């Protein structure tokens, strides 16, 4: 009877009444039918609890060898047929000599046996192809060709040859046999599919014939009986008896209806195949030839309509209705036993009741326009306002809840693409629905992505249809039941098609489907603001309604739109949650921070090179090798980096993907899935490896879930069959897909879609392939080459476009990881209809806000498809989605981390691409718009980075500024522009550090692997650079560089900052790093153009000026040395200006300052060769005074106030002189000193005798011809660090600290190590060469050690009481950093807070805001610092500051700092207070030192006191 429904897990539920026969026709090859009986009262099974089972006969395709005793034994292929197959493969291979015949025969035998057992029909087809005619009969008869082949095969079997040659040929023959086996399976699958379709049509015809004889009265009686059974009136199923009759093929053939049954693709009048409208059962109905059914129509589940006339009903006999296997219930048999009647027996003489005779539903009204203020759902009013909805009413022939005989179904269509179905039917209803297009109203299409229903559960019914059960609504009378379907994008469809189902019936529209049209519309919305951020806590809030106007619109002005056109159609703006930086923070995981060892790269490269030969066979082998390498890496970052390089080379098509090996797509997918599962497990368990794990995932697709890999094979066959394209390019592609699918298939599918969408322009096909690196030569290189171009007819286009678009989802699900749409599907949940019994249903990921995430992804995809997208709105949606995903990734219970990670990677990549697309149009944007783009790019980088505290701090500070800017602001206030410039300088420094690390880690692995694997030299040379360009850092860097000129203009700054205001003449030369040439001697005056300056370098001898793109502190060592030597030093902020100077390399120029923010550059002469400018003296050319070797005072430790005039350097003596001379609010730290000669005294200790002897020898070797000074200096440092401590020194050190009042925890080993490091710094290369150039005798340099307690500083500063640039004595200049001063004097990346003070007028001017990457804080519990204090510092005409080291006993804490919360940056009054404290303290030091200009180092404590830690005369 009709009404069968899929129940899941392969089961079908068929309604059955007492006295009614149920018949089922099954294809050949099944072993048995299993079933149970069920109703509302329970389920009846066999007494042993199992299912009822009906054995079915099975035809034999090949002869079966008899088993022991004459019975049937194991299925074995005939021996001679095996030999024929083996011989055939050998002949196809060109008859190579020395063939291992017996091995080939064994492999052919195994292949045929497996095929025979799995697919007899396929084996028969293969036998026929080999000339084995009649092989399906019990006694096979061989053809003449078969006899010849057998004879030659028998002769060949006697040949045996050398083992090595036979082994090689055997492998080839085995693979060829496997290829034949695979092809045979394919043929069998196609034959089986064709047979199933033919049986489907025949089955439907028999249904029509059986139903035609039913009387309407019998149908009504059957319906009432079924309803009674559903209500529980028939519950005692154990008292029923079931009889079964199984009819064989001959009996079935005798009872077939007369006439010929056409195939499902029935031939239409024009001779072209017509696509079936619906498939039978859950798959829909089959189009039947009208010659057999006068007025054909069917229910949505495939059951035929009742006959409309007596003539129709008389056309079918009772015998014709009983030709299939039949099941019948008997009321009078109470035994409850199961009977199986012998084959051929007639069933009991009882007519099966007719199918339901319900009249078809009648359309009551065509269309009613509703008023805007009506509520859908009428009485309950729960679904919101109509907003100009359309209502369609249909009358149903089922009782209503109010007792009337007919009920109504109403479909109400809303402008927001929402349809509400409401019915007053008394029976529970199920909506069986899909989409339609006007051009082919008979065809059902799957709904577009992004749809949802209420109730939320819907089931895929196959063939594009879905089923959703109505839900009863409370609180209204009469009772109602509703279903709501909501869509996001209906551009491709004209409306919804549906039918209704009850428990036993299906209701349609007079034999047709119900159609609800949806009018196409365009919605014009106000252009969105970039980002609606809300201040406050980090707890996410619900987004505001989409109608929220932009800030500009709220003020009455026109809203300003950046990054897009003013197109008439626009999606709502993204309403951002109030995220703060804590939601993005990852404390670990940055690339290169897991302690990577370069030796690990070498080991991994050797391992990879050894596996590559096997990996070329197929992607399955490559992914299996990758899993092996992942295990072997053992969590070592260097080895994981090498693994990524290898996979990236494969991704770039530098490695062989397939080498004469057939592999099933599901096996590739499974191997791929295993590998990526392992990488994700590493990501989860080893947080410090997160970035390298994400790099690996970016080079590999995720792998399909469940049957996804197999669907690649199955769906292409289905597409070819449905669209009539089984030859040409599609068949060649089909063979490639079956042989070895790969990521190229995604590109090929996209190219086919582009070809169809362009109106069959084949040039678009080739353009799409070329754009993604798939050339004609590559298509020909596949094992199953693609020779042909696509050639489709216009009639095929619509079906192929829909099918290939769906097939692309399958391909992307396996092969791609960074595709946004495919990755989103896996997180949000999706399904694909059944293909060969394999349905794909992926549920939404738990612990993810799927509703909001889906809306954001939809907005992002919609904007991305726009020809002129609103880029900032698009990126806002993407980073907001990433924020949601990161909240889920922190959830311990997240079960599908891989799916979430791949979506996060895809969103990051898409956001970067969208931002890069905006670069060409930035000139037309407002400054506020550019800064918002920078903010989004920075947020995207934060979400892609491990150990990202510094990046998050930059984002937080910039976000605060952007929130306060009008959306159309073109200029910023001067102070705001300075602050934002500093923030972006910090961002660029952070990006440079991270990209440098990536270069250092990845490029060596690429250069080691590339040549061994035969990769293109250019690809290898640019490997790391290309990887970096594909990260969010690249787009951010470009946007920052576009914003900085605008900011400098707002801050009234020029293209230059002059650090040493001298005039320089010389030849322009370009170098990459100043450190690389700092010890060069230029024979003629030179002006260097330098890309990178660190801050600690020396000015090379002969260099008159240095121009750079880097921005070191004004008080850095290199800046001080430039001023000390009279060399020009300036920073350029314009890459265009700097590039113009590079273009003039080799020309003579004169460069001089034009104020503090500009330079003049003139072409001119310079000093002749051999007369380079001096670089050792001061401005007047006078050099420093000669050093005097001090004498050891005899004490190992001395109090600072007891120092003699020559016992220590200027630091110690000046600090002692300041004691008692400063105001009470300015302090100095307690100090103890290891005086000059203490190191030499320690060398006289007997334990250090050997070191002392070597030390003297090395001192004599310094500067000797033919000796390496760098090597000698390193050996001297090593010797000092290896010294043993004299016992007397330890005692003196402890006693001296106690007398000075310095708290110390007594950890002597740490103190001794710090003292030795200060002593050893005397032999730094920079210090030694500086002395050499200054004419100082390095042998006379002595080193004292100043020991102080580390002051827990809030801020540290360096102040010059005379401005170092203008040399104006009425101006002072200072630089300030947060935390300890080492970040300032140690030239850490970034700039300090800087200001100029006017002594006579009073007041300070901020010159720059801080951009230091990180800050240093005092160790918990305090510490000591050992400062260098040599006699080579603070000499007249020689600035030796910074040449030697200062060391803390305990390591200081390197921390990220958020300047957005720093009062020195944000609080103007506090800022003025700190600047005033520093200026007054510096002036007090200058006065205490006799009025001489001073270089003062000090700190501001947390209680706002000033402590001067050292002071020296300022070198001008």
> Do the Cβ atoms of 675 and 627 come closer than 8 Å?
yes
Of the residues 109, 560, 815, 1117, only one is catalytic, namely 1117
> Do the Cβ atoms of 1499 and 1506 come closer than 8 Å?
yes
Q: What angle do CA 829, 689, 604 make, to 5 degrees?
A: 110
Active site residue 621: no
Token pair listed for 165 = 């040659």
> Do the Cβ atoms of 1127 and 1439 come closer than 8 Å?
no
Q: What angle do CA 589, 592, 593 make, to 5 degrees?
A: 55
> Do the Cβ atoms of 420 and 458 come closer than 8 Å?
no
Residue 179 phi, psi (nearest 5): -65, -40
> Do the Cβ atoms of 230 and 504 come closer than 8 Å?
yes
Nearest to 1516, CA basis, from 1481, 1488, 1492, 1498: 1492
Sign of the dihedral through C-alpha 1067, 1069, 1074, 1077: negative
CA 1427 to chain centroid, in Å, comes to: 49
Three-state secondary structure string covering 1093-1129 = CCCCCCCCEEEEEEEECCCCCCCCHHHHHHHHHCCEE
Nearest to 99, CA basis, from 151, 162, 55: 162
Cα–Cα distance between 1107 and 1090 in angstroms, integer? 6
Exposure letters 388-399 (e unless 16+ CB within 10 A, then b): ebbbbbbebebe
Using omega within 30 degrees of 0 as the cis cutoff, is the peptide bond preceding 478 cis? yes
> Do the Cβ atoms of 1252 and 1210 come closer than 8 Å?
no
Q: Is 1019 helix (H, G, I), strand (E, B) or coil?
A: helix
Cα–Cα distance between 1268 and 1273 in angstroms, integer? 9
Cα–Cα distance between 957 and 979 in angstroms, integer? 9
Q: Is 1233 helix (H, G, I), strand (E, B) or coil?
A: strand
- Residue 1405 Cα distances to 552, 1246, 1395, angstroms: 34, 59, 5
Nearest to 1004, CA basis, from 1017, 1020, 1019, 993: 1020
Q: What angle do CA 1386, 1392, 1394 make, to 5 degrees?
A: 130
One-character DSSP codes across 156-220:
HHT----HHHHHHHHHHHHHHHHHHHHHHHHHHHHHHHHHHHHHHHHHHHHHHHHHHT--HHHHH
Token pair listed for 765 = 């096909």
CA 782 to chain centroid, in Å, comes to: 29
Nearest to 1234, CA basis, from 1289, 1190, 1308, 1304: 1289
Q: Which residues contact 1113 (CB under 8 A, 6 or more apart)?
A: 1095, 1119, 1375, 1384, 1387, 1391, 1392, 1394
One-character DSSP codes across 1332-1401:
HHHT--GGG--EEEEEEEPP-EEEEEEEESS-TTT--TTEEEEEEEEB-THHHHTT-SSPPEEEEEETTT
Residue 207 phi, psi (nearest 5): -60, -45
Q: Which residues pair with 1106 in a beta bridge?
A: 1088, 1129
Cα–Cα distance between 961 and 981 in angstroms, integer? 12
Nearest to 1333, CA basis, from 1491, 1036, 1121: 1121
Tokens 């859950």, located at residue: 282
**Known catalytic residues?**
1117
């Amino acid at each position: 009877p009709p009404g069968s429904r899929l129940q899941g897990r392969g089961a079908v539920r068929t309604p059955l009444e007492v006295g009614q026969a149920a018949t089922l026709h099954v294809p050949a090859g099944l072993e048995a039918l299993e079933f149970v009986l069920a109703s509302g009262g329970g389920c009846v099974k066999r007494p042993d609890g199992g299912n009822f089972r009906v054995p079915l006969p099975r035809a034999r395709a090949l002869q079966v060898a008899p088993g022991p005793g004459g019975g049937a034994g194991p299925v074995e292929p005939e021996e001679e047929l095996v030999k024929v197959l083996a011989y055939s493969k050998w002949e196809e291979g060109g008859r190579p000599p020395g063939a291992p015949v017996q091995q080939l025969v064994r492999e052919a035998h195994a292949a045929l046996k497996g095929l025979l057992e799995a697919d007899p029909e396929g084996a028969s087809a293969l036998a026929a192809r080999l000339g084995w005619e009649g092989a399906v009969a019990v006694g096979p008869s061989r053809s003449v060709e078969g006899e010849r082949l057998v004879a030659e095969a028998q002769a060949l079997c006697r040949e045996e040859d050398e083992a090595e040659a036979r082994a090689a040929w055997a492998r080839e023959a085995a693979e060829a046999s496997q290829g034949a086996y695979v092809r045979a399976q394919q043929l069998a699958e196609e034959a089986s599919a064709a047979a199933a379709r033919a049986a489907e049509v025949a089955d439907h015809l028999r249904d029509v014939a059986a139903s035609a004889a039913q009387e309407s009265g019998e149908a009504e009686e059957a319906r009432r009986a079924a309803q009674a059974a559903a209500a529980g009136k028939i519950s005692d199923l154990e008292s029923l008896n079931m009889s079964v009759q199984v009819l064989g093929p001959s009996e079935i053939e005798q009872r077939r209806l007369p006439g010929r049954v056409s195939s499902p693709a029935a031939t239409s009048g024009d001779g072209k195949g017509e696509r079936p409208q619906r498939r039978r059962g859950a798959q829909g109905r089959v189009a039947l030839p009208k010659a057999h059914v006068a007025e054909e129509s069917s229910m949505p589940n495939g059951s035929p309509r009742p006959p409309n006339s007596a003539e129709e009903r008389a056309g079918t006999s009772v015998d014709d209705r009983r030709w299939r296997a039949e099941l019948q219930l008997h009321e009078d048999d109470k035994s409850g036993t199961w009977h199986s009647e012998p084959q051929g027996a007639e069933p009991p003489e009882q007519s099966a009741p007719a199918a339901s005779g319900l009249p078809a539903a009648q359309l009551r009204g065509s269309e009613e326009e509703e008023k805007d203020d009506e509520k859908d759902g009428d009485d309950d009013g729960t679904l919101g306002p109509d907003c100009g909805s359309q209502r369609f009413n249909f009358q149903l022939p089922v009782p209503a809840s109010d007792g009337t005989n007919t009920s109504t179904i109403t479909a109400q269509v809303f402008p927001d693409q929402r349809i509400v179905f409401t019915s007053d039917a008394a029976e529970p209803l199920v909506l069986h629905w899909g989409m339609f297009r006007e051009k082919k109203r008979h065809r059902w299409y799957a709904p577009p992505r992004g749809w949802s229903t209420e109730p939320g559960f819907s089931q895929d019914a196959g063939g594009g249809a879905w089923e959703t059960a109505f839900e009863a609504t409370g609180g209204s009378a009469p009772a109602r039941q509703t279903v709501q379907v909501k869509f996001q994008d209906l551009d491709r469809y004209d409306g919804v098609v549906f039918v209704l189902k009850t428990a036993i019936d299906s209701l349609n529209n007079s034999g047709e489907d119900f159609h609800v049209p949806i009018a196409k519309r365009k919605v014009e919305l106000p252009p969105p603001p970039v980002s609606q951020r809300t201040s406050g806590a980090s707890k996410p809030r619900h987004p505001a309604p989409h109608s929220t106007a932009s800030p500009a619109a709220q003020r009455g002005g026109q809203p300003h739109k950046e990054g897009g056109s003013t197109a008439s159609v626009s999606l709502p703006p993204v309403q951002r949650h109030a995220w703060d930086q804590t939601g993005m923070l990852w404390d670990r995981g940055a690339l290169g921070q897991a302690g990577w060892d370069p030796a690990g790269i070498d080991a991994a490269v050797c391992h990879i090179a050894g596996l590559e030969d096997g990996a070329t066979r197929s992607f399955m082998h490559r992914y299996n090798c990758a899993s092996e390498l992942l295990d072997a890496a053992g969590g070592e970052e260097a080895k994981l980096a090498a693994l990524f390089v290898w996979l990236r080379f494969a991704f770039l098509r530098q490695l062989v993907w397939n080498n004469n090996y057939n592999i099933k797509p599901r096996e590739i997918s499974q191997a791929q899935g295993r590998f990526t599962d392992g990488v994700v497990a590493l990501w989860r368990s080893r947080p410090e490896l997160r970035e390298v794990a994400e790099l690996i995932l970016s080079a590999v697709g995720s792998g399909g879930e469940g049957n996804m890999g197999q669907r690649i094979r199955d769906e292409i066959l289905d597409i070819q069959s449905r669209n009539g394209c089984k030859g040409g390019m599609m068949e060649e592609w089909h063979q490639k897909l079956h042989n070895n699918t790969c990521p190229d298939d995604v590109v090929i599918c996209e190219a086919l879609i582009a070809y169809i969408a362009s109106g069959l322009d084949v040039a678009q096909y080739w353009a799409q392939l070329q754009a993604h690196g798939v050339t004609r030569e590559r298509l020909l290189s596949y094992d199953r080459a693609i020779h042909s171009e696509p050639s489709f007819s216009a009639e095929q286009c619509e079906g192929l476009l829909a099918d290939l678009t769906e097939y692309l989802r399958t391909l992307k699900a396996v092969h791609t990881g960074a595709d946004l749409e495919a990755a989103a599907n896996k997180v949000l949940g999706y399904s694909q209809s059944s293909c060969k019994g394999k349905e794909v249903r992926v549920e939404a990921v738990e612990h993810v806000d799927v509703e909001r995430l889906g809306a954001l992804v939809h907005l992002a995809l919609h904007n991305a498809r726009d020809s002129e997208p609103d880029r900032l709105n698009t990126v806002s949606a993407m980073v907001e989605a990433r924020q949601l995903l990161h909240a889920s990734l922190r959830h311990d219970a997240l079960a599908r981390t891989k799916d979430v990670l791949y979506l996060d990677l895809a969103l990051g990549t898409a956001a970067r691409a969208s931002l890069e697309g905006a670069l060409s149009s930035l000139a037309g944007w407002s400054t506020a718009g550019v800064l918002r783009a920078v903010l989004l790019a920075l947020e995207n980088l934060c979400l892609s980075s491990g150990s990202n505290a510094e990046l998050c701090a930059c984002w937080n500070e910039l976000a605060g500024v952007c929130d306060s800017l009008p959306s159309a602001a073109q200029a910023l206030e001067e102070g705001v522009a300075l602050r934002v410039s500093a923030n972006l300088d910090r961002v660029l420094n952070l990006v440079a550090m991270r990209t440098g690390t990536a270069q250092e880690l990845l490029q060596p692995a690429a250069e080691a692997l590339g040549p061994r694997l035969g990769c293109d030299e250019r690809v290898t040379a640019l490997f790391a650079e290309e990887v970096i360009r594909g990260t969010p850092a690249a787009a951010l860097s470009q946007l920052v560089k576009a914003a900085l000129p605008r900011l400098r203009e707002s801050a009234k700054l020029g293209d230059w900052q002059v650090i040493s205001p001298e005039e320089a003449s010389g030849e322009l030369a370009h170098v990459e790093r100043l450190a690389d040439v700092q010890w060069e001697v230029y024979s003629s005056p030179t002006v260097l153009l330098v890309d990178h300056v660190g801050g600690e370098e020396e000015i090379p001898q002969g260099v008159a000026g240095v121009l750079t793109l880097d921005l070191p502190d004004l008080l850095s060592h290199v800046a001080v040395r430039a001023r000390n030597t009279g060399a020009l030093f300036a920073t350029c902020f314009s890459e265009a200006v700097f590039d113009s100077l590079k273009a003039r390399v080799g020309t003579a120029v004169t460069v001089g300052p034009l104020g503090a923010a500009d330079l003049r550059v003139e072409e001119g002469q310079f000093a002749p060769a051999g007369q380079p400018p001096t670089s050792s003296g001061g401005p007047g050319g006078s050099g420093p005074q000669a050093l005097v070797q001090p004498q050891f005072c005899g004490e190992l430790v001395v109090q600072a106030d007891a120092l003699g005039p020559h016992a220590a350097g200027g630091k110690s003596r000046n600090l002692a002189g300041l004691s008692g001379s400063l105001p009470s609010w300015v302090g100095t730290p307690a100090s103890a000193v290891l005086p000059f000669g203490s190191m030499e005294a320690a060398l006289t200790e007997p334990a250090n005798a050997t070191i002392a002897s070597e030390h003297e020898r090395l001192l004599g070797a310094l500067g000797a011809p033919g000796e390496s000074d760098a090597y000698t200096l390193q050996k001297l440092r090593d010797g000092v660090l290896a010294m043993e401590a004299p016992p007397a020194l330890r005692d003196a050190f402890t006693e001296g600290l106690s007398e000075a009042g310095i708290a110390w925890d007594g950890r002597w080993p740490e103190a001794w190590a710090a003292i030795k490091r200060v002593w050893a710094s005397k032999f730094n290369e920079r210090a030694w060469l500086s002395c050499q150039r200054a004419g100082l005798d390095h042998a006379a340099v002595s080193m004292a050690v100043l020991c102080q307690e580390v002051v827990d500083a809030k801020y540290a500063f360096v102040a010059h009481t005379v401005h170092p640039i203008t040399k104006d004595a009425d101006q002072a200049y200072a630089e300030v950093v947060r935390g300890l001063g080492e970040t300032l004097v140690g030239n850490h990346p970034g700039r300090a807070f800087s200001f100029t003070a006017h002594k006579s007028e009073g007041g300070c001017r901020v010159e720059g805001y801080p951009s230091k990457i990180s800050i240093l804080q005092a160790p918990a519990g305090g510490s000591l610092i050992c400062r260098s204090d040599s006699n080579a510092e603070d000499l007249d005409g020689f600035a030796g500051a910074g040449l030697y080291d200062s060391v803390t006993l305990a390591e200081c804490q390197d921390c990220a700092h958020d300047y957005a919360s720093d009062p020195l940056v944000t609080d103007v009054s506090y800022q003025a207070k700190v600047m005033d404290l520093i200026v007054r303290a510096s002036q007090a030091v200058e006065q205490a030192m006799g009025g001489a200009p001073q270089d003062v180092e000090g700190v501001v404590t947390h209680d706002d006191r000033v402590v001067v830690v050292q002071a020296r005369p300022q070198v001008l």
